[in-house]
Amino acid sequence: MQTGNAVESADFFTHAELLPWIVLLPLLGAAINGLFGKRMSKGAVTFFGVGSVVAAFVLSCIEVSRLAELESGALASTLWTWFSSFELHIDIAFSLDQLSAVLLLVVTGVGSLIHIFSIGYMRSDEGYWKYFSYLNLFMFSMLLLILGKNLLVLFVGWEGVGLCSYLLIGFWFKDMPKAEAGQKAFVTNRVGDLAFLIGAFILLFYSQGTLDFHELKQTAASMHTDQPVELTIVCLLFLVGACGKSAQIPLYVWLPDAMAGPTPVSALIHAATMVTAGVYLMVRTNFMFSASETAMTVVAIVGAATALMAATIALVQNDIKKVLAYSTVSQIGFMVAAVGVGGYVAAVFHLMTHAFFKACLFLGAGSVIHALHHEQDIRKMGALKKKLKVTRWSFLISCLAIAGIPLFSGFFSKDEILFTAFTTSHWGADPKMYVFGMLLLAAFCTAFYMFRLYFLTFEGEYRGDKHTWDHAHEETVMNIPLMVLGFLAAAGGLLGLPHFTHAHFLHGWLQPVLGFVKGKAPDGTPLEFIQVGGENAFTYVHDTNTELMLMGLSVLVAAIGILLAWRLYKRPASELPKAPVDAWWHRLLSNKYYVDEFYDATIVRPLRGTANLLHKVVDVGLIDGLLVKGPAKTLGKIGDGLRMFQNGDVQAYATVVVVGMAAALFFIV
């Protein structure tokens, strides 16, 4: 069978000589700045740090255009054999298909803009060279994850982005809370990574000795038939891994604290790249997830619950970055829920539009923080539209996009998720309606908290320090990425127009990877089937009236949220509503449902107590005391006793000799 797959793979893939360079250019930039950056000028650091990523984006555009010209198949490049044992053969290899092409352009394109923004934001930081070295290393890891031809290469990139997130979140490690935030992200992700690795080993055992995605897709049908339970277990383990990387229940707690890093880091890691890795993993292995109804049900419920929970927490946050952090957790929940109902195209579509508007929002927040000398409390802002015009307009466009206002990008992608959740016939009515209901309520919360953020930051009266207000200004190098991302946030949705227009570009583009076909029901109703192993796993009814009805409902919900925020927060400073800090619901949301406290009481403290006990008993008592210091002390006591006979007194030595000889003669005679 492997021989057949090898022949099929050879026919399926076209050689691509530029793919390795797309991955290696950021690594080269990281190495140069990491090794020599401290002794180079900032201009040279910028050239290698930013230039390597921009060059990777240019090469990505070239390779994606080559892919578009192919009639079928994908691009691939194999560097060398990693290891080979019996039937297991793992290559260091890269592949570019329609799915990875979307992620590749998003990561390199948005990543380039964030690198450019960082020039102005980090200009005065003493660790400028180190920052760009870490940022380039992160880009290398993310590209390795996206372009990996097999699961093991993907896992190396998966671990790499986890390491780089620790380095970048804790970049200002001399500040203990920031260092602890980096540690929290690292440890939380290790939990998910362990589950992912266990799932990969189980998959390897049951997949006839292959981890190549193309070959796994060929064997998915037989696994679905012969090992349905094992396949479900693998999918659930992959879900746990995705919950770690993509900050979903129960492993979402690291992402809000990750805002301790520089703001461009938040835009890169927590908007456009790392947090979408879990969604990418599940979409990449869609042929496995679609074969397990249990796994899909769990995925949908986890995603919808996370979307709603994080959205409610964002309602009461006052740190501008924390609002966006919980918004990210919520929006990733939309994507995960889309995967759970089989809406893989909708998930990828929202992943793309979210990268545009959320990166713009984070960079806009960075521009505000930079202008206000690192002030992050929105209660001390206001009227900034007078000082930060480019930031204001790009921020407003992105708020309209994430709220789901028609013609902006988020309107198209979010509505497709709601439409998919409502129309899928994979489930019975009840769980489907729960998922749809939670997502719709989360959409209302999103519109409200984003415009609460906008009004308190840019409208009304300034409520902060006068000296800060007088010196607030924008930087040109930071405005350029904001304008580009603002345009993408507005126009990016044109790639996925509603189905009744018959102009959904992404559906046609992703069809070779996601394997769905279109048809009609016996009554003539348009249907869409997602095929898995020759069976129709999901069915969607593309009824125009239903689509328009759901679209109107979504817009109504968003409009109510925006109008409510306008009513409460578009006021003079003296009339702004005061937070009901004594209300139980406000305390609950302000304390983030006490999840951190629960983890601290049930996991962190018991583990630290156990570690302290083991340290005292095993390390200090047994190892140091008994095994290491014990023999040393015993020998020391023996030495102290023998030292009485080695005191340097010649007369004492002579006396001992005479007494000894006399005793010997006595016993001999």
pLDDT tier at 101, thresholds 50, 70, 90: very high
| Residue at token pair 């908290």 | 449
**What is the per-residue pLDDT across 619-659, written as a single tens digit (0 to 9) for each?**
888 887 777 777 878 888 887 777 766 767 777 777 778 88
Q: Is the predicted pLDDT of residue 515 greater than 80, yes or no?
A: no
Range in 25-39, 275-289, 502-516, 587-601 the model is least confident about: 502-516
281 vs 429 pLDDT, higher one: 281
For residue 84, pLDDT over 50 is answered with yes
Task: Count the neighbouring beta carbons within 10 Å of the beta carbon of residue 611.
Answer: 11
Higher pLDDT, 113 or 586: 113
Sequence spans of domains, the chain = 595-668
Quick one: pLDDT at residue 35?
92
Residue 119 has pLDDT above 80, yes or no: yes
Average pLDDT on 562-585 reads: 85
Highest mean pLDDT among 7-11, 159-163, 257-261: 159-163
What per-residue confidence (pLDDT) applies to 182?
85
Answer yes or no: is pLDDT of 535 > 80: no
Here the tokens at position 134 are: 């870490």
**What pLDDT is stored for residue 433 in this prediction?**
78
The predicted structure's pLDDT at residue 157: 92
State residue 382's pLDDT score. 86
Report the amino acid identity of residue 177.
P
More confident residue, 45 or 273: 45
pLDDT greater at residue 541 or residue 342: 342
- Among 62, 59, 64, 67, residue whose Cα is nearest residue 12: 67
C-beta atoms surrounding 21 within 10 Å: 15
pLDDT of 520: 52
Please report the pLDDT score of residue 4 as a whole number. Answer: 35
Mean of pLDDT values over 37-43: 90
DSSP β-bridge partners for residue 163: none
Q: Residue 60: what pLDDT?
A: 94
pLDDT, tens only, 203-262? 888 877 788 888 888 776 666 655 678 888 999 999 999 999 888 988 888 888 888 888
* Interatomic CA distance for residues 106 and 357, integer angstroms: 12
Higher-scoring residue by pLDDT: 78, 11: 78
Tell me what the mean pLDDT of segment 376-391 comes to.
89
Instruction: State which H helix or E strand residue 91 sits in.
Output: strand 88-96
What are the CB-based long-range contacts (under 8 Å, 24+) for 96-99?
96/16, 96/19, 96/63, 96/64, 96/67, 96/147, 97/67, 97/512, 97/513, 98/67, 98/74, 98/509, 98/510, 98/511, 98/512, 98/513, 99/280, 99/283, 99/284, 99/348, 99/510, 99/513, 99/514
Number of neighbouring beta carbons within 10 Å of residue 407: 12
Counting residues of the chain whose pLDDT is more than 70, the rounded percentage is 91
Three-state SS letters, 183-206: HHHHHHHHHHHHHHHHHHHHHHHH
- Backbone φ and ψ for 223, nearest 5 degrees, come out as -65, -40
Instruction: Give the residue among 342, 356, 344 at the shortest CA–CA distance from 399.
Output: 356
Distance (Å, rounded) from C-alpha 156 to C-alpha 416? 33
Q: What are phi and psi of 541, to 5 degrees?
A: -95, 110
Q: What is the mean pLDDT of the chain?
A: 85
pLDDT of residue 236: 94
| Closest to 450 in 3D by CA, of 289, 331, 287 | 331
Q: Is the pLDDT of residue 528 over 80?
A: no
Any idea what DSSP says for residue 579?
A: P
